[in-house]
Amino acid sequence: MSYQAEISRDNPSCFLFLIDQSASMEDEISLGEEVQQLASGVADSINRWLQELSIKCAKSEGIRDYYNVGVIGYGKNVGPSFVGSIADRELIPISEIADNPARLDERTKKISDGAGGLLEQSVRIPVWFDPIAEGGTPMCRAATEARRVLENWIAAHPDSFPPIVIHITDGESTDGNPTDHLNTLTSLSTSDGNVMLFNIHLSANPNATPVSFSDSPDDLPDAYSKMLFETSSPLTPAMRGLAKEHGFETSDSSRCFVLNADLVLLVQAIDIGTRPSNVLMEGPLKDVETVELGDFEDSDEVVEDEVSEDGKPEDPDWSGGDDGLR
C-alpha cells in the first residue's frame, strides 16, 4: 500500500462514481425527520460534492485540473450519466465540469433568525447529475464498463495517485455474480497502488442495520452485503484518520464499506472516500478556509456564497486547507 503520489496539474488523479439507477432507487431514505427518494438523495450528494470539489480546486486564475471525474449509471441503460453539455463523456477534467452545469435548481434551506427560530432561504444549486430510477441492476456490465474506462485512464497516467471508485447500490445484481467483475477493478493499478473501491450498500433487507467501515463481514445480514464488503478496498491510514474526524472507530482491517447509510452518512462516506491527504500546492498555506462535506447546511452556504449567477464557482484564492493542491 503506497498512495503517496503527488496530485498536481501535471499528475492528476481521478474519481469514478458507479451509481445504481434501477427502479428500486425510487424507494425512500431518511434524513432526520425528512424522507427523500434514494435516487434524488444520491444525485443531491454527488452534485454538492462536485460543486465543493470545484471550489477546492479553484485559484484566482480559475479551476485547476487536479482531478478527472466520471459518473457511470446502470439501470435501464449503462454508461456515462452526466447531463447537459458534458453528457456522454466518461472522465472529465474538473474545470470543464465546473464550467458546465446543466442548470441551476431552486432550493430552500433553513437558517437561524437570530432569535432561536428558523427562516427559509432560497438558494440556487448547480446540477450535473439527475436522479434516474428505471430498469434492472446490471452490475456486472457496469463494472466491466468501469474497468474499460479506468484501464484507458491509467494507461495515460501510469504514475498517478490511484483512481478511486465510489459504488452506490441498493439492490442485488440482475446480470450475474459481480464478485469477479468488482475484483477486476481493484486489480488495476498505477505505480502508486491499486484502484480503490468504496461500496455503499443501501439494502432493503429488514435485518440490515447500519454498518460503517466494518472490519469483519460476520454481522452483515446476507450473502450480498458480505460480497460487497469482501470486494471493498481496505481503508488507507489517511482514510482512517478522516473517518475518526467524522466520529467513526476503525481498525487496520476496516474496509471501504457502508451499509444502510442515511443521507448524512452517505455524504460523510463520500467525503472519506474522496479526500486524499497528500495533495500539495504552489505557494504558502495561509488565509485558508476549508469546505467540508458531511453538513448539508454548510454545503448550501457554499452554493449561496461561492456560485455565480451562471452556476460556475467564483474564483476565491482557494488554497485547499489540509488538501492543499499544486
| pLDDT reported for residue 324 | 44
Q: Is the pLDDT of residue 30 over 80?
A: no
96 three-class SS: helix
Cell 467525503 belongs to: 271
Please say whether the dihedral angle defined by the alpha carbons of residues 133, 138, 140 and 143, taken in this order, is positive or negative. negative
- In angstroms, rounded to a whole number, what is the distance separating the alpha carbons of residues 284 and 319? 8
Residue extents of the structural domains in the chain: 13-323
Domain 13-323 has CATH 3.40.50.410: yes
- In angstroms, rounded to a whole number, what is the distance separating the alpha carbons of residues 108 and 120? 6
Q: Is the pLDDT of residue 279 over 50?
A: yes
Do β-strands 193-194 and 196-201 pair in parallel, antiparallel, or remain unpaired?
unpaired
Q: What 8-state DSSP symbol labels residue 323?
A: G
175 three-class SS: coil
Q: pTM of this prediction?
A: 0.83
62 three-class SS: strand
- In angstroms, rounded to a whole number, what is the distance separating the alpha carbons of residues 272 and 280? 18
| pLDDT reported for residue 34 | 66
| pLDDT reported for residue 36 | 81
Q: In angstroms, how far apart are the furthest CA atoms of the chain? A: 58
Distance of CA 107 to the CA centre of its chain: 21
- In angstroms, rounded to a whole number, what is the distance separating the alpha carbons of residues 266 and 260? 9
- In angstroms, rounded to a whole number, what is the distance separating the alpha carbons of residues 214 and 296? 25
Angle, nearest 10°, between helix axes 179-187 and 139-156? 10
Q: What 8-state DSSP symbol labels residue 307?
A: B
- In angstroms, rounded to a whole number, what is the distance separating the alpha carbons of residues 172 and 78? 16
- Round the average pLDDT of the chain to a whole number and report it: 84
The model's pLDDT over 163-187, given as tens digits with 9 standing for 90+, comes to 999 999 998 999 999 999 999 999 9
| pLDDT reported for residue 112 | 77
Distances (CA, A) of 267 to 42, 147, 180, 263: 9, 25, 28, 6
Which stretch, 107-116, 157-166, 281-290, has highest mean pLDDT?
157-166
69 three-class SS: strand
Q: Which of 132, 213, 231, 220 is nearest to 173 (CA)?
A: 231
| pLDDT reported for residue 118 | 81
Cell 456564497 belongs to: 305
Confidence of residue 278 (pLDDT cuts 50, 70, 90): low
- In angstroms, rounded to a whole number, what is the distance separating the alpha carbons of residues 113 and 107? 18
Let me know: does 130 contact 42? Beta carbons within 8 Å. Answer: no
> 255: buried, middle or exposed (CB in 10 Å: 19+, 13-18, 0-12)?
buried
- In angstroms, rounded to a whole number, what is the distance separating the alpha carbons of residues 268 and 38? 16
Q: Is the pLDDT of residue 307 over 90?
A: no
Q: Which residues pair with 121 in a beta bridge?
A: 109
Residue type for 246, please? Answer: H
